[in-house]
């Protein structure tokens, strides 16, 4: 299902790119990517100590903490599916390609939304103020076959939730089964039922904000753990490199002895 989701998502993106303001989207992609690369250090370290602006805290810092809180789950899943891959392959397929796809995705959908707001008076900004979830569908309705595309987008969101939940049950099953790479169906089913029940309770009680706050609080101590993991990874790579060099040295010495023995035998 994950592969199907990606195919549908790419097709949806291509449809919006072709039927939307294509030239404006390409201009947006080039300009924003260049600006990002030019200001990445400045934006990464940017805070607002001399003003009372809350945007940095509500967006940049919030999502940093949010993803740090997700790191144990996402990291475990990625490590599982990346087993047997080289570091080069991991960097390319887990870091570079998804980041590039993210740039393209936001340029297509964000660029289309901005174009509609700036030049077509679609009033997307007013819609976002009232309900952020409705902006996407309002934007899609401005395109050809808008109703059908909005329906497909809804199905895509649902299937992405399903695949994410499936991945979550897989990771939780691994963690609760002494690290088994293939947890039993019963364990995954148990976690799936628990996740569904918790989600229903939170939706009914309106406790999602509390859950988000708890996740952010948990991210702070885990940030220290991440730093330690980075140091450990560096040491492990250095140790592996030393071992590789020593192995190559032993092989060269062995080959040298064999050549010397052959010379003596002559």
Note the pLDDT of residue 24.
93
The token pair at 210 is: 């509390």
Q: Is 51 helix (H, G, I), strand (E, B) or coil?
A: coil
The pLDDT score that the predictor gives to residue 132 is 76
When pLDDT is averaged across residues 203-232 and rounded to a whole number, the result is 76
Q: Tell me the C-alpha distance between 111 and 123, whole Å.
A: 15
Radius of gyration of the chain (CA): 25
Whether the CB-CB separation of 219 and 73 falls below 8 Å is answered with no
Place of tokens 């960097």: 91
Look up the pTM and report it.
0.78
Q: What percent of the chain lies above the pLDDT cut of 70?
A: 95
What pLDDT is stored for residue 235 in this prediction?
93
Q: Tell me which residue of 129, 70, 230 sits closest to 78, measured CA to CA.
A: 70
Q: What is the pLDDT, as a whole number, of residue 77?
A: 80
What are the residue ranges spanned by the domains of the chain? 2-45+82-206
pLDDT, mean of residues 148-167: 86
Longest dimension (CA), the chain: 91
152 Cβ contact list (under 8 Å, min separation 6): 8, 12
Tens-place pLDDT, residues 104-156? 999 999 999 999 888 887 778 887 777 777 888 888 888 888 888 889 888 88
Q: Residue 164: what pLDDT? A: 81
């Amino acid at each position: 299902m994950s592969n199907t989701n990606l195919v549908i998502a790419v097709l949806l993106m291509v449809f919006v790119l072709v039927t939307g303001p294509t030239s404006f989207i390409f201009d947006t992609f080039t300009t924003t990517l260049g600006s990002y690369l030019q200001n990445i250090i400045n934006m990464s370290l940017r805070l607002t100590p001399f003003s009372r602006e809350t945007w940095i805290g509500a967006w940049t810092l919030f999502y940093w903490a949010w993803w740090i809180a997700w790191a144990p789950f996402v990291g475990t899943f990625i490590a599982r599916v990346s087993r047997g891959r080289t570091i080069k392959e991991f960097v390319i397929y887990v870091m570079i390609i998804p980041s590039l796809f993210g740039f393209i995705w936001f340029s297509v959908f964000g660029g289309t939304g901005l174009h509609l707001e700036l030049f077509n008076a679609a009033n997307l900004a007013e819609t976002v103020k009232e309900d952020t979830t409705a902006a996407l569908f309002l934007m899609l309705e401005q395109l050809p076959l808008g109703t059908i595309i909005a329906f497909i987008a809804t199905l895509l969101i649902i299937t992405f939730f399903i695949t994410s939940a499936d991945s979550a049950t897989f990771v939780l099953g691994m963690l609760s089964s002494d690290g088994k790479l293939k947890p039993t169906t019963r364990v995954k089913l148990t976690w799936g039922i628990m996740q569904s029940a918790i989600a229903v309770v939170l939706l009914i009680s309106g406790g999602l904000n509390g859950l988000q706050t708890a996740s952010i609080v948990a991210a702070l101590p885990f940030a220290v753990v991440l730093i330690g993991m980075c140091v450990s990874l560096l040491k492990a790579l250095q140790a592996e490199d030393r071992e590789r060099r020593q192995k190559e040295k032993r092989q060269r010495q062995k080959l040298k002895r064999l050549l010397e023995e052959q010379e003596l035998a002559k």
